[in-house]
Structure 1
């Protein structure tokens, strides 16, 4: 019986998330209320608050799950990838791809300026906490590559993770600003810069 209840809770949580994204895309994140999300999902507003503390939390949970999935999928491939550039380009490709799976480009166009420039939505502060965790996970991945002898021993993995994460946000903003996001050109540009970072400035 408890298994059925857990499945029902998971289904309700997913229904709320899907309803929220539909409304965010249709009328914008800032213009969407919890009451509208509840109506779209066929539940009450208190039910939405039972599962999510705010509409920001709905977004952040989806993004966190996408980030964690990208990191897991990349880590599984590390033993089979020799060049760290390939590993990091693969990670960035998954981070971008999974982010666009859970939130459409049109919604990212609204959210990224809010996230990057601040404001009173509460989103920048909460996103920053989540992004700090992502940057730490990227640093851990770099550390594993370093221990495997694929990166030089004196590499500052925290600074490198910061640079890669910061650059990834900039490229995502450029990508979603296009009417039709060109994933192939985006991936090529990321590879060029990542290659420069790891190989292009060596003596």
Structure 2
């Protein structure tokens, strides 16, 4: 009797690799936020995560790439392989018929994501002035932000409920301006606004800028 070969199941190894990657990202976030980008080393991240420095280099390549992975993790809130734009909250925004309500829903999610990601965004923004390796990372965050706001801008513009004088590109630019972490940094981190107050202000500001009226 010819033995039947069992099909190799890589699920366990893939999950282990994902868990190791998650551990590295979580460790890097803690060290970046505590010690800053320059003071944090790959060796330190590896030790904090309980893995080898070699595995960090193999999995990410550079410390700047680790920083981008940290941002992607905190902006999503997890490491599930599902883009933010395809998650239930974003799909609910698409289904909502009222533009003002869409904006309120978008801002509610944005505020939470910004709360999670603000410190690493600020770290990348500021540290790029002393470490050139972070410049492409910041440029990538900028590109992703503008692309996301163009998608949302087209969606909002398509409702026919925005101000008549606004073209899609201007809607994108207004959204992208308010998306900037600078507003959160000044109002929440420096002026001690609560997240609720910040969310209310941002919702009102965007609705007034895009829809107008009351």
- Alignment TM-score, normalising by the size of structure 1: 0.80
- Alignment TM-score, normalising by the size of structure 2: 0.76
- State the Cα distance separating 1:199 from its structure 2 match: 3.2
Q: 1:42 aligns with which of 25, 50, 58?
A: 50
Moved more, 54-63 or 144-153: 144-153
Q: Deviations over 1:78-137 (max 9, x none)?
A: 354233233233223323312433x4x55555444446xx44342233222233123212
Distance 2:94 2:110 in 1: 19
Report the equivalent of 2:79: none
Q: Deviations over 1:153-189 (max 9, x none)?
A: 7742233222222222131222453375510111121
Report the equivalent of 2:59: 51
Q: 1:13 aligns with which of 9, 21, 25?
A: 21
- Residues 136, 158 of structure 1: 8 Å contact kept: no
- State the Cα distance separating 1:48 from its structure 2 match: 0.3
**3-state DSSP class of the match of 2:87?**
helix
Moved more, 141-150 or 159-168: 141-150
Report the equivalent of 2:201: 189
Q: 1:85 aligns with which of 100, 123, 126?
A: 100
Distance 2:134 2:145 in 1: 16
Report the equivalent of 1:149: 160
C-alpha change, 1:79 and 1:161, in structure 2 (3 Å) is closer
Report the equivalent of 1:98: 113
Report the equivalent of 1:172: 184
- Residues 188, 198 of structure 2: 8 Å contact kept: no
Moved more, 43-52 or 3-12: 43-52
- Residues 162, 212 of structure 2: 8 Å contact kept: no
Alignment of 1:114-153 (within 5 A): 114=127, 118-151=129-162
- Residues 20, 37 of structure 1: 8 Å contact kept: yes
- Runs of 5+ in structure 1 lacking a partner? none
Rg: which structure is higher? 2
C-alpha change, 1:92 and 1:122, in structure 2 (3 Å) is farther
C-alpha change, 1:63 and 1:95, in structure 2 (3 Å) is farther
Q: Deviations over 1:60-82 (max 9, x none)?
A: 23433526426634431135423
Report the equivalent of 1:199: 211
Moved more, 179-188 or 22-31: 179-188
**3-state DSSP class of the match of 2:61?**
coil
Distance 1:133 1:186 in 2: 23
RMSD: 2.9
- Runs of 5+ in structure 2 lacking a partner? 1-8, 77-82
